Amino acid sequence: MKILVTGGAGFIGSHIADAALAQGWSVRVMDSLDPGLHPSPPVFDPRVEIVTGDVTDAAAVESALQGIDTVCHQSAKVGLGVSFADAPDYIHNNDYATAILLAAMERRSITCLVLASSMVVYGEGAYTDPDTGLPVRPVPAARPTCWPATTIPATRKPAQPSSPR
């Protein structure tokens, strides 16, 4: 399996790259390596192939996807904007970049995409699985599995916020 991790120099992306290596996968990281986010060059395991490029650059994305089976998309402009005037920049770097990536994946028939989000989308707090009552937490050792959209169980209930402790 060969995985592309966009935003692979970031905190989450770099840990995903390490976990994929531990699973025996080949890993390619694509990151802009923006000096504002990465003041010093990130250190990668020597087995990681590094592609310096921006996900908003369609040609760079096409090149980075060559030979890839799975994409783990972590590239994003993070944080909260200061005002609504920041919206175009966030939309360009997050939504538009994701659209470029998805279109390129379709052209290459790459059907396995893993996305992550943040509490900005769903809010802070502890969450529990409504079926088991267990806390919902990432499992770093878990190997991602991809299903075609039509095979994802429709009966699954969304996680519910836990009561405060």
Q: Answer whether 56's CB lies under 8 Å from 62's CB.
A: no
**Quick check: 146 pLDDT over 90?**
no
Return d(Cα 135, Cα 120) in angstroms, integer: 19
- For residue 68, give both structure tokens: 């890839």
Could you give the percent of the chain with pLDDT greater than 70?
73
- Which contacts (CB < 8 Å, 24+ apart) does range 100-107 have? 100/55, 100/56, 100/57, 100/58, 100/61, 101/6, 101/55, 101/61, 101/71, 101/73, 103/58, 104/58, 104/61, 104/62, 104/65, 105/65, 105/71, 107/62
The model's pTM: 0.72
Instruction: Return the pLDDT at 78.
Output: 73
Q: Is 50 exceeded by the pLDDT of residue 50? A: yes
The better pLDDT of the pair 40, 110 is held by 110
Residue 111 pLDDT exceeds 50: yes
Considering only 40-44, 65-69, 77-81, which range has the smallest mean pLDDT? 77-81
pLDDT top residue among 121 and 57: 57
pLDDT at residue 112, as a whole number? 93
Q: Which pLDDT score, from 0 to 100, does residue 124 have?
A: 56
Superfamily for 2-127? NAD(P)-binding Rossmann-like Domain (3.40.50.720)
- Look at residues 115, 49, 45, 113 and name the one whose alpha carbon lies nearest to residue 76: 115
pLDDT, residue 152, reads 36
pLDDT digits (tens, 9 = 90+) for 72-98: 999 988 766 667 787 888 888 888 999
What pLDDT was estimated at residue 143?
47
